Structure 1
Amino acid sequence: MSLIDSHAHLDFYNETPTERDEVLRRAYAAGVHAILAIGIGDGPATMHQALEIATSTAGAGFPQVYASAGIHPQEAAHATPEALDKLATLGAHERCIAVGEIGLDYYHFDNPDTATQKQVFIAQMRLAAKIRKPILIHCRTSELATPQAKEKFGEADAWEDLLALIDEHWTPYALGGIMHCFSGTVDQAERSLAAGFYLSFAGNLTYPKAQAIRDASIAAPSDRILVETDAPFLAPIPLRGQRNEPAFVTHTAAALAELRGISPEELATRTTENFKNLFPTTRETLKR
């Protein structure tokens, strides 16, 4: 059985000189034979790190590593023309298969205002359309945020704003993308699917209070689902509270398979094929 972790922050594994290699070897041993490394870094200044990892990771016992590049909505204030030029250069690399994670985040008080976030989201969608790469979406609402954040963002709804911007600035290009760590409702899932996106489910699928996510994971068509870790965050049950890593995507995949009434092997086959369909350039390297 071979799985793909469609979203992991591999550049975070740097506590020791060998930590990342150890994490990648454990992933491969667990059957995770490909990983999409997310290139947001700690901001635009370090968003190149994922591509560096993708182009330098090779050899027996290691997964295939692909990269994305993007400016996270929390870093939207740093999306200078120079940062966007850097993103365009990274995005043009053959091993960089997506732009992201990008989107809207109304959760933290110190996040940029909604106008800034929207402007930078639109700019990155335009850039992705120009280089013909799918996008990876981050969407976090203010529903569970602190009182200060709720006061700052008011009645603004990240999901409604996000889907409206996608409809206007992205859907016409038919390039698709991934709703990373999908945490919305069945209705939001249906609207995301209609806009051409795949739904990627992370460890929070297994959390007791995540029934809405589980409902969406059951309702989603089999040809539009993916699994991810969002490592080093969101470790799934029974590992919740630990530092997450790509090997642990097996737990989320098993939970998703059970919810959908299929075997883990079938889930692995289906999600791997879905990843290849969204990112056709990976088909050849994933044969190796």
Structure 2
Amino acid sequence: MTQQTNSQLSDTSRAPVLVDSHCHLDFPDFDGERDDLIARAAAAGVARMVTICTRLRQADRVRALAEAHAPVFWAAGTHPMSAAEEPLARVEDLTELARHPKFVGIGETGLDYHYTADSKPVQQESLRIHIEAARRSGLPLIIHARDADEDMARILSEEHRAGAYDCVMHCFSSGAALAQTALELGFYLSMSGIAAFPKSGALREIFVAAPPERILVETDSPYLAPPPHRGKRNEPAFVAHTAARGAEAFGMRLEAFARQTTDNFDRLFAKAAAWTPDA
């Protein structure tokens, strides 16, 4: 991290405004301190965050967090690693959730063949259901992809030809070919703490090859804390460290990178951008 970005992060009065586009505030890791972690996020310049429901039967508790905290928005879907354990989502159920004023995305959904390759067929069926819900609701799809690049590129492309939809490749850590496919479809790539790890130079090159107007930042907290917190529990405030590393990789000042990624979030998650407390 450069001296400039270090000094900016140490002075919260000048912290650039950021959005944590993907976190899991309902996870038990945060029990008893959600008010404090949201306050710490604000002090670090993180003005908004999207908390993600990964099992639809837990939607009520995730929605309650968004209702209780002005900076918090929510999304819901069936995580691919849970697709074989949970009832298949229905398009109608997802679009009904999308009626909530602070519900801003469909997912996370996707494909994960790292530990759960045996459930490939149901993962793919679940993914296509979520894509249709994104089309009907007009909300962006939130994709988790791991060790499934070829199938992911194929399904996203097939479905986009059948009817356009918006999408973010959350916590992107896949290969350059999948990144290129996503960008050609008009999608966004999201940088997590993985992109800030010292040995992630090849991944940072994939991000830097993308237009800056297609980049988001996230924590995926409580997982994947960036340096200097690597190995510890992650939280939304730490997205500032990932953004600092992203700015460095793109050769931008932190303020400019923060402004760009926030503008990108507002373009993709237009419902969140339009929300007001009186809405």
Taking structure 1 as the reference length, the TM-score comes to: 0.85
Deviation at 1:179, TM superposition (A): 0.4
Q: What corresponds to 2:158 in structure 1? A: 168
AA partner of residue 37 (structure 1): T
Residue in structure 2 matching 1:4, options 8, 13, 19: 19
CA distance in 2, matches of 1:198, 1:69: 18
Gaps of 5+ in 1: 59-63, 142-157
* Contact residue 51 and residue 90 of structure 1 kept, 8 A: no
* Contact residue 79 and residue 120 of structure 1 kept, 8 A: no
Structure scoring higher RCO (CA < 8 A, sep ≥ 6) equals 2
Q: What corresponds to 2:169 in structure 1? A: 179
* Contact residue 102 and residue 138 of structure 1 kept, 8 A: yes
Range moving further from structure 2, 167-176 or 132-141: 167-176
CA distance in 1, matches of 2:210, 2:272: 24
Q: What corresponds to 1:208 in structure 2? A: 198
Gaps of 5+ in 2: 1-15
Deviating 4+ runs (over 6 angstroms): none
> What percentage of aligned pairs have identical amino acids?
39
Deviation at 1:128, TM superposition (A): 2.0
Residue in structure 1 matching 2:84, options 59, 77, 98: 77
* SS of equivalent residue, structure 1 residue 11: coil
Are residue 136 (structure 1) and residue 151 (structure 2) matched? no
For 1:6-45, list aligned pairs within 5 A: 6-13=21-28, 16-17=31-32, 19-40=33-54, 43-45=55-57
Structure 1 residues 170 and 94: alpha-carbon distance in aligned structure 2, compared to 1, 3 A threshold: farther
* SS of equivalent residue, structure 1 residue 35: strand
Cα deviations by residue, 1:55-103 (Å, 9 ceiling, x for unpaired): 2213xxxxx2111110001111244367665433212322111101100
Q: What corresponds to 1:269 in structure 2? A: 259
Deviation at 1:185, TM superposition (A): 2.6
CA distance in 2, matches of 1:13, 1:29: 23
Deviation at 1:53, TM superposition (A): 0.9
Are residue 260 (structure 1) and residue 250 (structure 2) matched? yes
Structure 1 residues 204 and 55: alpha-carbon distance in aligned structure 2, compared to 1, 3 A threshold: same
Deviation at 1:255, TM superposition (A): 0.3
Deviation at 1:174, TM superposition (A): 2.9
Are residue 117 (structure 1) and residue 131 (structure 2) matched? no
* SS of equivalent residue, structure 2 residue 110: strand
Q: What corresponds to 1:235 in structure 2? A: 225
Instruction: Report how many aligned residue pairs link the two structures.
Output: 263
Q: What corresponds to 2:208 in structure 1? A: 218
AA partner of residue 46 (structure 1): Q
Q: What corresponds to 1:107 in structure 2? A: 114
AA partner of residue 65 (structure 1): V
* Contact residue 206 and residue 252 of structure 1 kept, 8 A: yes
Residue in structure 1 matching 2:73, options 66, 69, 72: 66
CA distance in 1, matches of 2:82, 2:101: 25
* Contact residue 104 and residue 121 of structure 1 kept, 8 A: yes
CA distance in 2, matches of 1:92, 1:78: 26
CA distance in 1, matches of 2:41, 2:265: 17
Provide the alpha-carbon RMSD of the alignment: 2.1
Range moving further from structure 2, 7-16 or 83-92: 83-92
Q: What corresponds to 2:105 in structure 1? A: 98
